[in-house]
Amino acid sequence: MKTEGHPDYHMITVKMTDGTEFQTRSTWGKEGDVLALDIDPLSHPAWTGGKQQVSEGGRVAQFNKRFGGLTLKK
């Protein structure tokens, strides 16, 4: 295996939103850097079962708002 074609793989610290930390290997940053997460499985609604934010202003919603009352009946 060629050594110059691969990224540096080293130990970093990952800090969760509640302050807990764990060590893992990564190509992110430099040896010993701390990766602070903004969203993780402890706080994201998809994992916690909390209220999910639904996009109410999407293209389909705009179409239905504008043309929702139209029908093909005479």
Distance CA 29, CA 7 (A): 11
Residues 6+ apart with CB under 8 A from 17: 37, 38, 39, 40, 42, 43
Q: What is the CA radius of gyration of the chain?
A: 23
Average pLDDT, the chain: 83
Give per-residue pLDDT as tens, 3-15. 788 888 999 999 9
Q: What pLDDT score was predicted for residue 59?
A: 82
Residue-wise pLDDT for 18-41, tens only, equals 999 999 999 999 999 999 998 888
Question: Rounded to two decimals, what is the model's pTM?
Answer: 0.55
